[in-house]
Structure 1
């Protein structure tokens, strides 16, 4: 007797499954890197998010860009074998918290983007303190969430649109950020972290342009 073939239903791709796939693909690459390579990946991502905080701070006349820049400098100091103790890292972590905007205090559209920048830098510091990969993956998620939020705020989307998730994933800014992360990780694999390499990676990181364009938000 011939077996009855069961028709396989197509899998509907959603934002959740797409995001899970993206995070898994990044984690697969990140976990094979050295700690220095991982920290460089984190700080490069933080530098992509920092301009969003700068715009917020300029608009609201609040916060401290210098604190976030100090934290980024400390991460680069670690990469150059400049000794950092836990007390220094704990101190900068607390400073980041103090200059992180609360959405209930600032109603402007830039607030959540600024908060994401603070969160990513804080998670990077926490990663250096703990060497727990989950903090690094939080940085990855924050960068992606920033782009997701930007796409929703800058586009004319209907919440009821069944294709909304796919449209977000196909947005040029989202595709660019995903490519940036994978390109950086591919370059990091097996690389020696020295000053010339760090400079080359920062140049590559900057070559993709702004992670988002806040001027496009209505």
Structure 2
């Protein structure tokens, strides 16, 4: 499993727009979590997250000049679930999606490698939470659980995606709209999140 420091170090060598692209990709990989939760729990507004992500992608592809980060962050805060109000796993996965979108917006504003790398950490934590929630039994030792998380297929797929994306960034030092569209399509993953959630009615 990738360590936050390793990802941050590689993103230090990237430009600010590349770091934003990385963070947006991580957020996109969690978006379906919120979409399904919002519909099932009848909570929040999926369009708030969708609008934020769309504006970020458009900004990266030079289809939009300005993104009002503070306005989008305020709107996001209003539709972020409070875990004290929901007794269901989906709220945790939806919260992770909100945090990832928040990080993507923050990265656009700051341009910092640490912020961008934090997006990958949220995805990892989301996967770890899902694996623990669906663990075959609740009598596993901490070591067994950590081993299960680190070797789980979803974590390996995430590691592969991060490695692929970092290599793509190395090969594309300047932004290109069609290439960014390809990155977006890969991040969307046919509508499935990093933990395999899909909102069929999205």
Q: TM-score range by the shorter chain?
A: 0.7 to 0.9
Quote the Cα distance in structure 2 between the aligned partners of 1:106 and 1:135.
28
Shift in Å, 1:45: 1.2
From 145, 151, 158, the equivalent of 1:170 is 151
Shift in Å, 1:206: 4.2
In the alignment of these two chains, the number of paired residues is 194
Contact persistence 1:127–1:136 (CA under 8 A):
yes
Shift in Å, 1:117: 0.2
Q: What is residue 196 of structure 2 aligned with on the other side? A: 213
With a CA cutoff of 8 Å and minimum separation of 6, indicate the structure with the bigger relative contact order.
2
- Residue by residue over 1:3-59, the C-alpha shift from the partner in whole angstroms, topping out at 9 and shown as x without a partner, is xxxxxxxxxxxxxxx6xx622221222111111111111111111100000110011
Runs of at least 5 residues in structure 2 that lack an aligned partner in the other structure: none
Q: What is residue 193 of structure 1 aligned with on the other side? A: 175
Change in 2 beyond 3 A, CA 1:24/1:45: same
Paired residue secondary structure (2:83): coil
Shift in Å, 1:214: 4.8
Paired residue secondary structure (2:30): helix
Runs of at least 5 residues in structure 1 that lack an aligned partner in the other structure: 1-17
Most deviating of 154-163 and 126-135: 154-163
Change in 2 beyond 3 A, CA 1:210/1:114: closer
- Residue by residue over 1:127-149, the C-alpha shift from the partner in whole angstroms, topping out at 9 and shown as x without a partner, is 11122332212211101000000
Paired residue secondary structure (2:29): helix
Q: What is residue 186 of structure 2 aligned with on the other side? A: 204
- Scaled by the length of structure 2, the TM-score of the pair is 0.88
Alignment of 1:30-109 (within 5 A): 30-81=11-62, 82-84=64-66, 88-109=68-89
